[in-house]
Every structure is written in C-alpha cells, then in structure tokens.
Amino acid sequence: MPNTMPQNLRTPGPTPIPVDINEAMSDPMINHRGPEFGELIAKTTQQLKQVFMTKNDLYILTASGTGSLEAAIVNTLSPGDRVIAATAGAFGDRFVDMVEAYGADVKRMDFEWGSPMDPNEIRKVLMAEPEIKAVLVTHNETSTGVTHPVEEIAQVVKGEFDKLLLVDAVSSLGCIPLPVDAWDCDMVGTASQKGFMIPPGLSFISVSERAWEAQQTAKMPRFYFDLSMAKEYLATGQTPFTPNLSAMYGLSKALDVLLEEGMENVFGRHSAIAQFTRDHMKELGLELLVTDEKYASNTVTAVKIPDGVDNKALVGKMRTEHNVVLAGGQGRMSNDIFRIGHLGAVAKSDITDVVDALKIVLPQVGFKS
C-alpha cells in the first residue's frame, strides 16, 4: 500500500514532485493526434534541447530511462559490432547486459566501484582494437555515487578515435552539467523521475547527425524504439505511439520551472546541496564511498556502512520511525553502503532532517563513533 503521508523521499529517483507540477498533471486528457498535443510536444522538445545543451534531434519516449538506453543501442548498432562497454557499478553492468542481449561483441571494461572510469584505459583499448565502433558509458553511476569524467572520455572517444559515444545520463541530466554538443556525445538518454521532478514513465534521448548516419545501417531489431518513426511523427506534432500525456503536462511545467531558474543555477544548487550532504555525513563520523571529491556525485551520496551496523535495520528505522526513505546499496554493494538522493526538488532542510534522524538511529543500530 502506498504511504499517503508525504515521506522525505531520499532515493535517487523517483524524487518528490512539487505541488504545481502535480497540479499540472491532473489536467484533462487531450487528443494526442490533435493540435494541442502538437503544441505541447514542440514546446517541451525545444525546452529539453536547452537542458541537454544541444541542437541535435531530441525525442520524448514513453518508457523508463532504460528505454532511452535501449533506443541508443538498437538505433546505432548491428549484431556482431565490436563495442566497449565501460562499467563501475550496477547501472554500468546493466548497460553491458543490454548491449550483449542485442548481440554486440562486447569488450567489457570494469573499473572499481566507487572510483571514476579512466579515459586512458579506454584510449589503450581503442588503440589496440581499431574495429571498435562505439563506446558505452554511464555519466553518473547511481549505485556508487560517482560522476564519471565523460568530458575526458569524449575527448578520447570522439576527438582522438571518432567512434560513436552512447551515454547513460539517467541520474545526471538536468542536475550535473552534460553539454551534449560541447562534448560531442552521439546519443544521450535520461529519465523523467530524476532531475525533472516528475513521475517515472518518460525518457528523453538526443541523437547526433553521426548517430543518424549509423542508424541507416544498424541492424539490431527495433520497433517501439525505432527513432526514425519518432522523427517522422514529431514532424507532424505527434509520437508514433500513445504518449503518457499526464507526465507530459508535468514535464512542460517542470521545464518552465527549471529554465526560469536557469540551468547554471540548477547545477549550482545541486552542487551546494551535495557538498552540504557530504560534509554532514563526515561530521557524523561516517565514511563516504567516493574518496576523491572531484568525482563525488551531485545527485546521490553513497555512505559506507560502519562496522557493526546492520544496514537493513538502519534503513528500516529511518523509514518507519523518522519517515526518511534512504536507498540501500545495489548489486555487489548491497551490504556495504546506503545512499542519499539529493536531486530534483530537494531543500537543505530535507538533508538536515536526514542528519537529525541519523543522529538518533545510528547508535540504536550499533554505531560507535
């Protein structure tokens, strides 16, 4: 049963939804093949391009973030294509699994969880294997709270080797700078339930000229995520399939709010609240997973579970006794960390509430500072 009492939802998505955005989402249904929808999709697509900092084509898909990543893969690659898929966490692993599922010949590059990917290692593989067609990377690894150096990776992948670059920006876009054109990223996918402050159900993807060229010859099977259909329909103010209209209303409102604040200010706000969170965790005597602050994510912070502390009891008590919903660890880090989301609509007071609750709960679950 969903809890009807508002929680301090500190998962790294879905995020809380501001009241005005919630209200916008209760607007009546419209004909998705009619002129009102044509205006709505034209407006939101233009605004999203501003957030992505791109002049590339951009599509709104009715799918969770994974849909945009699947679209990036199936629209650019063919079975048997040699690709690098770099991973340093649960979502990087999933990107590997996805491209393998579609039959790519994957050079998997594992980096330590909690550390950044090393562009130089990627350079070495690209030098050794000239047949590589594309490189898949995660910008912000939500499972560890690391923001990978995509700008440097792009300089190698695009600047030095001119390969396709497919980026998972699900938990960064709209919160942490990712200027798609300046960094020359070919396909960048993200999702509605993160920095956009709306419910899950929409994903957004930018497509470079180079990606469109690749699309002409890409042979991986595709239908729902065939972006040539999205392109054809967008030209007439429509989507190929019935869109999530309520989420689109919310998106329209959210984009007004974000652009009015100004993306530089939005990025600055995320940076400040992330620093605030990290500083407070350290003050409590806790250790952060990411040791080099340069790579610490501005959307999610991973905190190491101190020796002797029961992670399940900690997360459970925070939720049931203090109404604070933290995220546990994922994949192989399930028992090692808990995570605090600080993206989208989040105020410093939300983090202060987390800190105050931790002060009470930590000693109850075995923490000795």
Does 330 sit near ligand PLP (CB under 6 A)? Answer: no
Give the nearer residue to ligand PLP in terms of CB position, either 296 or 365: 296
Does 171 sit near ligand PLP (CB under 6 A)? Answer: yes
302 Cα distance to chain centroid: 16
**Interacting stretch for ligand PLP, rule CB under 6 A, among 118-126, 138-146, 238-246, 302-310?**
138-146
Stretch 332-361 residues interacting with ligand PLP (CB under 6 A): none
Give the nearer residue to ligand PLP in terms of CB position, either 66 or 246: 66
Give the nearer residue to ligand PLP in terms of CB position, either 140 or 239: 140
Burial class (CB in 10 A: 0-12, 13-18, 19+), 3: exposed
Binding mask 67-96 toward ligand PLP (x if CB under 6 A, else -) reads ------------------------x-----
Q: Count of CB atoms within 10 A of residue 21's CB? A: 22
Residue 32's identity, in one-letter code, is: H
Instruction: Kindly give the interhelix angle for 263-283 and 348-364, rounded to the nearest 10 degrees.
Output: 20
**Residue among 102, 105, 62 at smallest CA distance from 85:** 105
User: What is the rounded distance in angstroms from the CA atom of residue 232 to the CA atom of residue 74?
Assistant: 17
Does 168 sit near ligand PLP (CB under 6 A)? Answer: yes
Strand order in the sheet with 300-304: 300-304, 337-341, 327-328
Phi-psi region of 201 (alpha: psi -120 to 50; beta: other; left: phi over 0): left
Single out the residue of 7, 22, 45, 66 in contact with ligand PLP (rule: CB under 6 A). Answer: 66
Burial class (CB in 10 A: 0-12, 13-18, 19+), 225: buried
Does 311 sit near ligand PLP (CB under 6 A)? Answer: no
CA angle 214, 190, 183 (to 5 degrees): 60
Q: Minimum Å distance from CB 85 to ligand PLP?
A: 13
Q: Dihedral sign, CA of 232, 95, 56, 158?
A: negative
Does 142 sit near ligand PLP (CB under 6 A)? Answer: yes
Q: Minimum Å distance from CB 364 to ligand PLP?
A: 29
Give the nearer residue to ligand PLP in terms of CB position, either 21 or 309: 21
Binding mask 1-40 toward ligand PLP (x if CB under 6 A, else -) reads ------------x---------------------------
Give the nearer residue to ligand PLP in terms of CB position, either 327 or 365: 327
Using CB under 6 A, list all residues that contact ligand PLP: 13, 64-66, 91, 138, 140, 142, 168, 170-171, 191, 200
